[in-house]
């Protein structure tokens, strides 16, 4: 998307309105923003209603959020104070992409027992991570060559087993006055697939969060196209923080970014919020997606099932790593896991960092679908 500071002053305000909607989790593509400004230019505009109609036609807010759109429009263009939005829920998922201010911390009491920590109540807190004593040197070195690969649309020169590079061959013929010893060949490059880690930082996963962050830092350092998000009651992209080479600095930066450590969990709405942002959704396309969570969704799991169905349609391989699977008696017997099992390529033990690292390094190797494995176990 174009940058607001590079636009003419007359167009910057319209760009700013689209950016405001994106900050509030409206799914708006860059092409829609361009169409919005073109529509405003086409209409004149003669009145504020023309701008409103252009925004409705091009930015296309969903019908159930039309009231919220009107509130943002009046607040942005008329300077009205934002009233409470009709139908807005207190548990609306917030998205943080390495920017924004710290929200007020809610004080909530919770019990320190297993699945009872899985709650939809938002509780903001901070975490402090210590240096990882074991290290992930071997995992970092192997990861770039262990991930599944795909053929890129970019090509490279080759001496054999390629197709004729007609353009370069003709150029060589011209430069050599019609004489060329052999035609030039090219082939499509082979590149590793993207790795997307989605880490549950809710209270029920508190014992595993530090290990998962250590593994995520090693993954970002070892793979050129790794993305990491945390989710609990909010969604936070922490990839830029984990790109810092120094382990201690990287985790300190990531800890400062995430506001919802050890709080409740809204897995379904949070994953849907991820998919509602086109830039984030693009990370999932053709990627190896590993979700590190116990998948203990409170209440209705329809949002979670919808999100996982969309992830399954986009991903090359969709995996769920749950620490609950370390128990030999574990079975995917909850309503949520029974609904998700046909959508998953893998349902594996997420209690051990070593087993997780070994699993990620094995993603290129084919394996039976999760449903087939767990039906045999059951």
pLDDT tens for 133-173 read 456 888 999 998 899 988 887 877 887 777 877 778 778 77
Quick check: 106 pLDDT over 70? no
Between the alpha carbon of residue 156 and those of residues 162, 186, 190, 244, 332, the distances in Å are 9, 5, 10, 31, 46
- Return the higher-pLDDT residue of 152 and 104: 152
Quick check: 196 pLDDT over 50? yes
Using a cut of 0.85, tell me whether the model's pTM lies above it: no
- Give the pLDDT score at 87: 44
Quick check: 212 pLDDT over 90? yes
Quick check: 129 pLDDT over 70? no
The mean per-residue pLDDT over the stretch 86-103 comes to 53
- Give the pLDDT score at 183: 77
- Give the pLDDT score at 122: 54
Least confident of 30-34, 169-173, 268-272: 169-173
How many whole angstroms separate alpha carbon 37 and alpha carbon 41?
A: 6
Between the alpha carbon of residue 26 and those of residues 22, 145, 304, 338, the distances in Å are 5, 37, 19, 31
- Give the pLDDT score at 1: 47
- CB–CB of 286/308 below 8 Å? no
- Return the higher-pLDDT residue of 285 and 156: 285
- Return the higher-pLDDT residue of 40 and 161: 40
Quick check: 99 pLDDT over 70? no
How many whole angstroms separate alpha carbon 116 and alpha carbon 78?
A: 46
pLDDT tens for 290-322 read 999 998 876 688 999 999 999 999 999 999 999
The mean per-residue pLDDT over the stretch 26-53 comes to 86
Q: What does residue 303 show for φ and ψ, rounded to 5 degrees? A: -65, -40
- CB–CB of 53/40 below 8 Å? no
pLDDT tens for 43-71 read 877 888 889 899 999 998 888 788 888 88
Quick check: 90 pLDDT over 80? no
Listed residue (324, 309, 314, 319) closest to 363, CA to CA:
319
- Give the pLDDT score at 109: 33
The mean per-residue pLDDT over the stretch 324-352 comes to 91
pLDDT band with cut points at 50, 70 and 90 for residue 124 = low
- Give the pLDDT score at 293: 94
Quick check: 269 pLDDT over 60? yes
Least confident of 89-98, 171-180, 288-297: 89-98
Q: Which residues pair with 319 in a beta bridge?
A: 290, 346
Quick check: 130 pLDDT over 70? no
b/e sequence 139-177, b meaning 16+ C-beta within 10 Å: bbeebeebbbeeeeeeeeeeeeebeebeeebeebeeeee
- Give the pLDDT score at 282: 93
Listed residue (212, 203, 365) closest to 288, CA to CA:
365
Quick check: 360 pLDDT over 70? yes
- Give the pLDDT score at 159: 76
- Give the pLDDT score at 30: 85
Q: What residues have CB less than 8 Å from 135, skipping those under 6 apart?
A: none
Quick check: 243 pLDDT over 90? yes
Q: What residues have CB less than 8 Å from 305, skipping those under 6 apart?
A: 268, 336, 339, 340, 343
- Give the pLDDT score at 3: 52
The mean per-residue pLDDT over the stretch 187-197 comes to 89
- Give the pLDDT score at 81: 55
Average pLDDT, the chain: 81
């Amino acid at each position: 998307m174009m940058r607001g500071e590079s636009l003419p002053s007359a167009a910057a305000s319209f760009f700013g309105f689209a950016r405001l909607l994106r900050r509030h989790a409206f799914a708006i593509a860059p092409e829609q923003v361009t169409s919005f400004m073109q529509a405003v230019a086409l209409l004149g505009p003669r009145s504020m209603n023309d701008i409103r109609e252009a925004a409705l036609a091009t930015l296309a807010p969903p019908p159930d959020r039309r009231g919220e759109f009107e509130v943002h429009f009046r607040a942005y263009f008329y300077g009205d104070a934002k009233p409470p939005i009709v139908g807005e829920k207190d548990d609306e998922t917030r998205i943080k992409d390495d920017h924004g201010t710290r929200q007020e911390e809610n004080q909530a009491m919770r019990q320190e027992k297993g699945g009872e920590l899985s709650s939809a109540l938002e509780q903001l807190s901070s975490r402090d991570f210590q240096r990882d004593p074991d290290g992930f040197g071997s995992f970092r070195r192997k990861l770039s060559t262990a991930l599944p690969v795909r053929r890129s649309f970019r090509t490279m020169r080759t001496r054999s087993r390629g197709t004729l590079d007609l353009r370069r061959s003709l150029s060589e013929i011209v430069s050599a006055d019609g004489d060329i010893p052999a035609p030039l060949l090219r082939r499509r490059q082979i590149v590793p697939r993207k790795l997307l880690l989605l880490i549950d930082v809710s209270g029920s996963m508190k014992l595993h969060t530090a290990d998962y962050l250590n593994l995520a830092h090693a993954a970002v350092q070892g793979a050129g196209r790794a993305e990491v998000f945390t989710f609990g009651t909010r969604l936070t992209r922490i990839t830029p923080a984990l790109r810092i080479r120094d382990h201690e600095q990287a985790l300190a930066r990531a800890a400062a970014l995430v506001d919802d450590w050890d709080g409740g969990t809204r897995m379904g709405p949070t994953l849907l919020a991820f998919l509602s942002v086109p830039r984030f959704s693009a990370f999932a396309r053709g990627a190896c997606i590993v979700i590190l969570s116990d998948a203990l969704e409170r209440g209705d799991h329809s949002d979670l099932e919808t999100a996982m169905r969309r992830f399954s349609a986009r991903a090359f391989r969709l995996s769920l790593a749950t620490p609950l699977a370390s128990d030999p008696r574990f079975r995917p017997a909850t309503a949520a896991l029974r609904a998700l099992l046909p959508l998953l390529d893998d349902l594996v033990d997420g209690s051990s960092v070593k087993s997780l690292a070994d699993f990620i390094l094995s993603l290129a190797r084919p394996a039976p679908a999760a449903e087939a494995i767990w039906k045999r176990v059951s």
